[in-house]
């Protein structure tokens, strides 16, 4: 499933959902990199 997250003040990243963390943040994978940020509603 694709998810969009915000990693900085204006940086949006869209990738494949890896996991949801306990603090509410989401990890997504793009290629071989994993990014963590707040989900965009």
DSSP 1-41: -EEEEE-SSS-EEEEEEEEE-TTS-EEEEETTEEEEEEEP-
Check: CB of residue 4 under 8 Å from CB of residue 12.
yes
Check: CB of residue 25 under 8 Å from CB of residue 13.
no
The total domain count for the chain is 1
Q: What integer pLDDT is reported at residue 18 of this predicted model? A: 97
> Does the reported pTM lie above 0.85?
yes
The 10s digit of each residue's pLDDT in 3-22 is: 999 998 899 999 999 999 99
Query: What domain range includes position 14?
Result: 2-39
């Amino acid at each position: 499933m694709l998810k969009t997250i915000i990693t900085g003040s204006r940086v949006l990243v869209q990738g494949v959902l890896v996991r949801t963390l306990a603090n509410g943040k989401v990890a997504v994978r793009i290629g071989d990199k994993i990014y963590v940020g707040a989900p965009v509603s």
